C-alpha cells in the first residue's frame, strides 16, 4: 500500500512558518524523514493559498524534490497553484497526484488540469449537497466523478477515490461506512478503482495517546478491503502496513521484516 506522507501541512506551525519565511531547512528535514520512514509520495498541503499560491506551491515542490526522490501530492483548493506545481514537478520520481477534485462543479477544473498535465488525481466523494450519508451514497458520487473524469479525458486508472474519513469521536457510524465504501469503489470498474483515505482524520479530536491506536486499527480494516493508498504519517503506520503485507502473503516473513524498507 502506498503511504502519502502527511506531515508537510501548512496547518502545522513549524511548516507554516517555514513556508512563510521560505526556509527550506524544516521542509526538507520533514520530507526526508517521511521518505525514510516509508512514504512513497509526499503530500504538500499549502492550504487555500489565495495569495501567491502559485509561487508557494512551486517553491514547496522544488524544495521537497531537491532532497527526496518521490512524487508530490499537490494539496490545495487553488487550482492555479496546482497547475503551477505540475509545471515544475520532477516526473523522474513518479507522476504527481492532485488533491483533489470532487462532485462539486467548482472542483472540475482540477480534472482539466490533471488531463492537461497527465497527472493522477484524488476524487473526494462529496458533492455540493454536503456529506454523504452512507457507503451507497459515496459509491453513487464516485460513479459521477468517474463519468466526469472520462469527460475531461482523465483515465480511470489515474483516479483515486476518497470515501471521506470522518471523525470517530463525532461520527462513529461512518467508520464502517467508509470501510464498505472502499470495497464498493473497487467494484465500479475492472480493473478495480484505486482508493485513498485521509487516515488520521478518523482520530481527529481524540486524546493524543489514542490516535495512533485508532489510526492503525482502522487502517488494517481498510487495507484488508483493498485500500490502495493512505495519506498518513509513515512513522505512525509503517509497522502496520508491513505486518499486513506479511499476513496477506505479499512479503515473505523473516524475524527482521520490520527493519526492511
Residue 77: which of 41, 45, 43 has the closest Cα?
Answer: 45
Q: Residue 3 or 164: which CB sits closer to another protein?
A: 3
C-beta closer to another protein: residue 134 or 245 = 245
In the block, residue with C-alpha cell 480493473: 191
Is 176 or 258 the residue whose CB approaches another protein more closely?
Answer: 258
What size, in residues, is the chain?
261
Tell me which residues touch another protein (CB under 8 A): 250-256, 259-260
CA distance 148 to 112: 10
Comparison of 11 and 260: residue with beta carbon closer to another protein: 260
Beta carbons within 8 Å of 25's beta carbon, 6+ residues apart: 18
The phi and psi torsions of 45 (rounded to 5 degrees) equal -100, 105
Closest-CA residue to 217 (of 175, 155, 161): 175
Helix (H) or strand (E) holding 59: helix 53-67
**Which C-beta is closer to another protein: that of 140 or that of 246?**
246
Q: Could you give the angle at which helices 24-36 and 234-247 cross, rounded to 10 degrees?
A: 20
Give me the least distance between CB of 222 and another protein, in Å please.
Answer: 22
Least CB distance from residue 37 to another protein, whole Å?
Answer: 18
Q: Provide the minimum distance between the beta carbon of 244 and another protein in the complex, in angstroms, as a whole number.
A: 14
Burial 33-57 (b: 16+ CB within 10 A, else e): bbbebbbbbbbbbbbebeeebbebb
Q: Which is nearer to another protein, 26 or 94 (CB)?
A: 94
What's the min distance (Å) between Cβ of 239 and another protein?
Answer: 16
Minimum distance from residue 216 beta carbon to another protein (Å)? 23
C-alpha dist (Å) from residue 231 to 40, 75, 96, 151:
10, 11, 14, 27
Q: How far is the CB of 190 from another protein (least distance, A)?
A: 20
Amino acid at each position: 500500500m502506498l503511504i502519502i506522507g502527511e506531515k508537510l501541512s501548512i496547518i502545522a506551525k513549524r511548516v507554516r512558518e517555514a513556508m512563510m519565511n521560505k526556509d527550506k531547512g524544516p521542509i526538507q528535514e520533514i520530507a526526508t524523514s517521511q521518505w525514510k520512514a516509508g512514504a512513497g509520495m509526499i503530500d504538500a498541503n499549502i492550504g487555500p493559498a489565495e495569495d501567491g499560491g502559485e509561487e508557494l506551491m512551486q517553491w514547496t515542490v522544488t524544495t521537497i524534490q531537491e532532497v527526496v526522490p518521490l512524487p508530490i501530492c499537490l494539496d490545495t483548493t487553488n487550482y492555479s497553484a496546482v497547475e503551477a506545481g505540475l509545471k515544475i514537478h520532477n516526473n523522474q520520481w513518479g507522476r504527481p497526484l492532485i488533491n483533489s477534485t470532487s462532485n462539486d462543479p467548482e472542483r472540475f477544473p482540477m480534472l482539466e488540469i490533471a488531463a492537461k498535465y497527465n497527472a493522477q488525481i484524488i476524487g473526494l466523494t462529496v458533492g455540493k449537497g454536503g456529506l454523504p450519508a452512507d457507503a451507497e451514497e459515496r459509491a453513487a458520487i464516485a460513479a459521477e466523478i468517474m463519468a466526469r473524469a472520462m469527460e475531461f479525458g482523465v483515465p480511470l486508472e489515474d483516479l483515486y477515490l476518497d470515501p471521506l474519513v470522518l471523525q470517530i469521536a463525532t461520527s462513529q457510524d461512518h467508520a464502517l461506512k467508509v470501510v464498505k465504501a472502499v470495497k464498493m469503489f473497487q467494484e465500479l470498474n475492472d480493473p478495480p478503482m484505486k482508493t485513498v483515505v485521509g487516515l488520521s482524520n478518523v482520530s481527529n479530536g481524540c486524546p493524543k495517546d489514542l490516535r495512533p491506536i485508532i489510526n492503525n486499527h482502522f487502517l488494517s480494516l481498510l487495507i484488508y478491503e483493498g485500500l490502495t493508498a493512505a495519506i498518513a504519517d509513515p512513522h505512525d503506520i509503517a509497522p502496520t502496513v508491513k505486518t499486513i503485507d506479511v499476513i496477506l502473503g505479499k512479503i515473505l516473513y523473516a524475524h527482521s521484516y520490520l527493519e526492511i524498507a
